[in-house]
Homo-oligomer: A and B are copies of this chain.
Amino acid sequence: MNIADQTFPAVDSANEDRAQAIRDQLRDAIVDRRLAPGTKLSEGEVGTLFDVSRTVARAALQMLSFEGLVRTERNRGAFVANPSPEEARQVFASRRLIEPGIAIAAAERMTPAHVVAFKAQLDEEGRFIAERGPSARRSEIKASGDFHLLLASVAGNVILQRFMEELVARSSLVIALYGRSGVSSCGHSEHMNILEALESGNAERASALMLHHIDHIEADLDLRVRSGPALRQALEF
């Protein structure tokens, strides 16, 4: 009975919080761009979709609003975030500040097991790049983010790790919105270079490579305001 109806939504998460499970699925959907920015996420809809009451759906949406992935307006509802160019710049400014330091910390804590995990991660990343199609592109963005999350977990600071989770999620949104080309293939090779530096314990080099990597990602964005930002906001789309 449990197995049957909890097939897809709400993974296993028996003792876990249901709201958390819903948040995770919604976050994946947002980061994967299956939910477009501006989409309304009504409490009732989310609730019926995941077969829970509005109470827990609301809790999930509140969590996402804390992470900056949805914006809530009083008495109006929750919407998938539509980050402005300015917000996008701030996301990357934050990453430039934090990630080089994370790379240094990670370099000092790398173990052979970590190296194996990174190689598996990069393999998967390469596979998605080889594929074509919109679905592959989404997976590609997600895999690219996972590299940075893996690095954060190796660094061993859970606070910074959580910050990075938020920043990576928001970056994915920004890239989906403002991304120009397939810089990702270039990003893939940069990831490999970073791993090389980490593997050889060259913390400084890893840090510098990371900084450049972030610069490259941001440089690929087209952050000019398009077709009147006020109108866009007013129309909420």
Contact = CB atoms under 8 A, between A and B. Distances in A.
Contact of A160 (B90, B160, B170): B90
A97 B160 contact: yes
Interface stretch (A60-68, A119-127, A197-205): A60-68
A145 interface: no
Nearest to A96: B101
A111 interface: no
A89 B41 CA distance: 39
Contacts of A55: 55
SS class of chain A's interface: helix, strand, loop or mixed?
A: helix
A159 B94 contact: yes
Contacts of A93: 105, 157, 160
A217 interface: no
A115 interface: no
A159 B68 contact: yes
A150 interface: no
Contacts of A223: none
Interface in A61-88: 62-63, 66, 68, 74, 87
Query: Which 3 A-B pairs have CB atoms at the shortest separation, nearest pair first?
Result: A97-B101, A90-B157, A94-B159
27 contacts: A15-B74, A17-B74, A59-B59, A59-B62, A62-B62, A62-B63, A63-B66, A66-B66, A68-B159, A87-B158, A87-B159, A90-B158, A90-B159, A90-B160, A93-B105, A93-B160, A94-B157, A94-B159, A94-B160, A94-B163, A97-B97, A97-B101, A97-B102, A97-B160, A98-B98, A159-B167, A159-B170
Interface of A: 15, 17, 55, 59, 62-63, 66, 68, 74, 87, 90-91, 93-94, 97-98, 101-102, 105, 157-160, 163, 167, 170
